[in-house]
Amino acid sequence: MWYSKSDNYTFNDDLIRVPSEVHIGGFHGGLDEKSAEEYMKKGKIPEDWWYFPIAKRSKIENLGCPTQKPEKLLERIILASTNEGDIVADFFCGSGTTLAVAEKLGRRWIGCDMSKYAIHVTRKRLLDIANSKALGIKVKDESKRPKYGFSARPFYLITIGNYLTDKLTNRKETINLILNLYGASPIKGAFKYLHGIKEKDKEIIHVEHINYPITPAEISTTIEEFKNSPFNDWTLTILGWDWAPDTFEKAKDEWEKLGINIKLLHIPPISKLQDVLKKYKIDLSKVINFEYAFDEEIRKILRFIEPGYLKLKVTQNKKYVRIEIEDFWIKLPHGYEDIEEKIRKKIESSIKEGKKYFLPLINYWAVDWDYDGKIFKHDFVSFDKKLAEGKICPIAEHTYENPGTYRVVVKVIDIFGGETSKELTIKVE
């Protein structure tokens, strides 16, 4: 069945032809021997049923996704329907087969999935794409198909888990929702950056915008307003959905210098909020004021977690730079007790074997050796293929070609999907 919304469509039939059999002088048009040979050599467009071994049979491709498709299947579809440079979109991308195949065939791509796990599996698959099998070439023996051999072009992970942003468009109501979940109330007074108060713990709260990361500049502005408020001897708590690189360290330096008490906490992922709202049958569209929407029982389910702690050791010899993770730690979020024991045993095992105890907490880490401030490039990456295995290489090395001052960003993704970033300035002479 053929579908196109216009006569201007793409169908690369010669790229997907399969071997054909013809009978000379018989049913297939009575072709002579020479014509039949040419027809057989060229092949035919596939029939309306295709046979491909499912991905589970391939040890190289299988990522454990129950509906995972084989790359050869997507290769045929993408080759037939697109040209190099075209955009391929998969809005239920799962393990990322469509995106990986599009990348290897020189297509641009967009992938979406409501599963946070699927996004992480897809991201790691793309980061390791150089070790996967090449496509777009014909081989007689599939076992001898060469590796792809190229790193993925830079790609941008837009968001993870913010599925309710269409309903959280009102800034004031969003702030009230988060304050309530944290057990605080809206603050009274003409404050721009101080949004809430938690009297029993003597805390003043700032809630970051849902679509933007917290930056050191915003923290500085909030601290300034806090210093001039009547509550400046309390604790300033900043709640954020996401954090710009190195924010935690820079903020820590400032508040220690000023001698104030401050806490930086992650707001629970919106996917987690969605689960809670569904469980307690709370309809956001019908809740006008969040001040009394939640009770203490609901608050116990959600946890506001501190950003990860990351310590790096940088060694430099002229143009050569070596970065080593010396320490990393995160607090285990509520609801992960089922894997807590496994992680604890892995950490104990690592200590016993003389390895870095924190490696099982890292899902993957990456370095952009020349960050442009817009798109993070995975110039170096190391990751665990299984949860909490601790098989991360904690050292990244790079040799610069030219002298200059380079902005380097290190990004660590923990086993729960949390992200901790640190920014470095490297001067090369």
54 phi and psi angles, rounded to 5 deg: -70, 155
| Residue listed under structure tokens 């076992």 | 143
Q: 3-class SS at 297?
A: helix
From the CB of residue 139, how many other CB atoms can be counted at a distance below 10 Å?
11
Q: Structure tokens of 267?
A: 């707001």
Contact 361, 343 (CB under 8 A): yes
**CA-CA distance, 145 to 429, in Å (whole number)?**
44
**Which distant-in-sequence residues (6+ apart) come within 8 Å of 403 by Cβ?**
319, 428, 429
**CA-CA distance, 290 to 298, in Å (whole number)?**
13
**CA-CA distance, 240 to 206, in Å (whole number)?**
9
Structural domains of the chain in order of their starting residue, each with its CATH number: 13-49 (no CATH), 53-155 (3.40.50.150), 171-301 (3.40.1350), 309-428 (2.60.40.10)
- What pLDDT does 309 receive? 80
Contact 409, 245 (CB under 8 A): yes
- What pLDDT does 106 receive? 96
**CA-CA distance, 182 to 89, in Å (whole number)?**
38
Q: Structure tokens of 39?
A: 């027809």
**CA-CA distance, 130 to 127, in Å (whole number)?**
8
**CA-CA distance, 336 to 301, in Å (whole number)?**
12
261 phi and psi angles, rounded to 5 deg: -90, 130
Say what the pTM is. 0.56
SS3 content of the chain, % helix, strand, coil (to 5): 30, 20, 45
What DSSP character marks residue 147? B
pLDDT along the chain (429 residues), means of 10: 87 88 54 70 84 67 80 94 96 94 97 78 87 88 88 78 59 85 89 94 92 82 94 93 69 76 82 73 61 64 76 95 91 54 71 75 90 80 76 93 94 78 91
**CA-CA distance, 298 to 279, in Å (whole number)?**
10
- What pLDDT does 164 receive? 56
Q: In whole angstroms, what separates CA 108 from the centre of its chain? A: 18
- What pLDDT does 249 receive? 65
